[in-house]
Amino acid sequence: EDLSRIFWVLSLPVITLLYLTIPDCRRRFWKRWFILTFFMSAAWISAFTYVLVWMVTIVGETLAIPETVMGLTLLAAGTSIPDTVASVLVAREGKGDMAMSNIVGSNVFDMLCLGLPWFIRTAFLDRSLPLQVNSSGLTYTSVSLLISIVFVFLAVHLNSWKLDKKLGALCLIMY
């Protein structure tokens, strides 16, 4: 109980900030403001993600750990855990199709969002110069994401579009 109180006190500034900036569209007064709620939530997720990556970069530089290693381990695990928890929760409710959709959707979203900032920069902001990308692990990351998407689609197709223990174990091993 003391630990939960400490956690509540530490998270109070963030909770207050979110409460003041994101309309609660579950309430009658804010019911028609759901689009603003969506975009404000996305903005805050982006801001928290930026700070998370920034802090992980600082920790990696402090401990002399390369960015690629930090990105492929700590950040990858940190961003995959919420997806995993969501997939497990819906699978336990008997909604295996939603669990698989979450897995596939997450990887497809990662692939699409990987190129979106570069597309915006080169198509709309600065057409004159090519974009310099400073990442030695980008090719590995892109190829591994693409292979995982193809693998999941192929595995589900070969299993007659049914999620069972065999397919679940295979996905877990390959993940």
Name the pTM for this structure.
0.58
pLDDT in 10s for each residue of the chain, 175 residues = 889 999 999 999 999 999 999 999 999 999 999 999 999 998 898 888 788 888 888 998 999 988 778 877 777 777 777 777 888 888 888 887 787 777 777 767 766 776 777 777 778 777 777 777 776 677 777 788 788 878 888 888 898 877 788 887 887 787 6
Which amino acid appears at position 60 of this protein? G
Q: State whether residue 93 is helix, strand or coil.
A: coil
In this structure, are residues 155 and 140 in contact, taking their beta carbons and an 8 Å threshold?
no
Please tell me the distance from the alpha carbon of residue 110 to that of residue 117, in angstroms, as a whole number: 12
Please tell me the distance from the alpha carbon of residue 95 to that of residue 38, in angstroms, as a whole number: 25
Give Dmax (Cα) for the chain. Answer: 59
